[in-house]
Amino acid sequence: MFGFKKPNYSVETIGTITRPSAVQINGINLPLAEYEVAGQKYEVRVPSELARAMELKAKQEAGYEDNLKGSFQALKDSFSSNNPSGVQVLRNNNSFGTNSFEGTIMFTVGKKVVVKYDPEKPKKAIVTGEYNG
């Protein structure tokens, strides 16, 4: 009727988490995933539900504890053992100019995700989950 065509997310590829986006949900910057189609690179935001699931998994893998001392230790451990590259995107919990490390680990830069895109318009894409291959 108005010429709007719903995207056909029929082609699947693997993307990589690159950085946080400018979009925040409850104080959390959602991650961006980069993917490539025919030599052209695109970025797509990870949905908030998936970002929360990735955050929970990252916390569990790092041994996160619900106290400040445990948070510092989990952060230190994640940089040394669980993540050899030592690259993490951290949640920014600044409050009145002070840093809080409660809930710092959100997701890992370089993590692979599954991206589905429209073959007619590859810029139209969605992230459907973590890549487990």
Note down pLDDT in tens along the chain; length 133 residues.
Answer: 566 778 899 999 999 998 888 887 776 678 899 999 999 999 999 998 888 888 777 777 766 655 545 555 555 555 555 544 444 544 444 444 444 443 344 567 788 999 999 999 999 999 999 998 7
| 72: in domain | yes
pLDDT of residue 120: 93
- Which residues lie across from 45 on neighbouring strands? 32
> In the chain, how many domains are there?
1
| 118: in domain | yes
| 73: in domain | yes
Integer angstrom CA distances of residue 114 from 25, 37, 50? 21, 13, 11
Boundaries of domain holding 120: 11-130
Report the distance separating Cα 20 and Cα 29, nearest Å: 6
Residue with tokens 């810029």: 123
pLDDT of residue 63: 66
| 82: in domain | yes
Chain centroid to Cα 109, Å, comes to 7
pLDDT of residue 33: 94
| 111: in domain | yes
